[in-house]
Amino acid sequence: MAEVIVVSSRQAAGALVAEAIERLVATKPDAVLGLATGDTPLPVYRALAERVQAGLDLSGVRGFALDEYVGIALDHPESYHSVIDREVVRPLGLTPSAVHVPDGRPLGIETAGERYETAIVAAGGIDLQLLGIGTDGHIGFNEPGSSFASLTRVKTLTRQTRDDNARFFDSVDDVPVHSITQGLGTILRAKRLVLLAFGAGKAHAVAAAVEGPLTASVPASAIQLHPRATVVVDEEAASMLTELDYYREAFAQKPVWDPVVL
Ligand SMILES: N[C@@H]1[C@@H](O)[C@H](O)[C@@H](COP(=O)(O)O)O[C@@H]1O
């Protein structure tokens, strides 16, 4: 099962995960990060940016974004190319050519997934994959029904996801219908997973992912198959978990030698 850590705030989550990333980079300066978009990972990026301002060097770190919209202009402010550049590459001082985002341009889209998988393998795989979670239980853009063996490919977005993401666009009609996303199989190959979730709106999806049955209907439940998965949640997002006392006890009693703990 995943390790669950309940934190008091988004800032506390950001600090905790930034600390884990700093430790990873200390042992592997060219570590490969799996980068999530959306609001959820922002506290991690902000905490890392502060560490960079204080002298942390992340210029050797490589990155692979989870997903991208299909058919969106690369320079659209809400393309994940733009978001990753704005929220991650620049503030963290990463080397732009070392950070990859799936290619959602229509020309060549049939082979874009395969090319992305090849690039991840050539980089030696992802060391730490950051994940948010959709209210419908998606990770990346793996919507309900996604195969646990799926690799990077085009997925049609659900209406719920498009409604959720409409806040980034002028209207829901402007939200692209298709995405290209790392598959659940891609995500499960990462050496470590860190899924973050904040707010009551995520409570149902978190409970289903962590404690529900393993089912493609809740794509995030795939994290139960991963031997090094950590879920970092605030009290609201944790509110529907039934084993909260156990998670708190396990974290309080964490062995110092435990490599799974953040
Ligand atoms: N493709 C992204 C996901 O990777 C993200 O996890 C999810 C949740 O977004 P937020 O963190 O803004 O709630 O939204 C989008 O659909």
Residue 169 corresponds to which tokens in the numbers above? Answer: 């666009």
Domain count, the chain: 1
Q: Is residue 56 part of a domain?
A: yes
Q: Are 133 and 38 in contact (CB under 8 A)?
A: no
Q: What is the pLDDT of residue 146?
A: 98
pLDDT computed for residue 259 by the predictor? 60
> Any catalytic annotation for residue 249?
no
Does some domain include residue 225?
yes
Find all residues with CB under 8 Å of 208, minimum gap 6, and list them. 137, 218, 220, 221
Report yes or no on 261 lying in a domain. Answer: no
Distance CA(132)–CA(130), nearest Å, equals 7
The answer to whether residues 162 and 175 touch, using CB atoms and an 8 Å cutoff, is yes
Q: Is residue 119 part of a domain?
A: yes
What residues contact 10, with CB distance under 8 A and at least 6 apart?
A: 43, 198, 234
Question: Could you tell me the distance, in angstroms and rounded to a whole number, from the CA of residue 135 to the centre of ligand 1?
Answer: 9
Secondary structure class of 238 (helix, strand, coil): helix
Render each residue's pLDDT in the chain as its tens digit; 262 residues. Answer: 789 999 999 999 999 999 999 999 999 999 999 999 999 999 999 999 999 999 999 999 999 999 999 999 999 999 999 999 999 999 999 999 999 999 999 999 999 999 999 999 999 999 999 999 999 999 999 999 999 999 999 999 999 999 999 999 999 999 999 999 999 999 999 999 999 999 999 999 999 999 999 999 999 999 999 999 999 999 999 999 999 999 999 998 988 776 655 7
Q: Report which residue type is found at 84.
A: I
Q: Which domain holds residue 22?
A: 3-252
The structure's pTM equals 0.96
Q: What's the CA-to-centroid distance between 140 and ligand 1, angstroms?
A: 7
For residue 260, being part of any structural domain is answered with: no
CA–CA distances in Å: residue 72 to residues 119, 177, 182? 22, 10, 17
At residue 235, what is the residue type?
E
- Domain assignment present for residue 147? The answer is yes
User: Does residue 110 carry a catalytic annotation?
Assistant: no
Note whether residue 41 is domain-resident. Answer: yes
**Is residue 67 in contact with ligand 1, taking CB distance under 6 Å?**
yes
ipTM over 0.85: yes
pLDDT at 261: 56
Catalytic residue among 81, 100, 138, 226: 138
Domain assignment present for residue 259? The answer is: no
CATH number of domain containing 128: 3.40.50.1360
Distance 256 CA to ligand 1 centre (A): 32
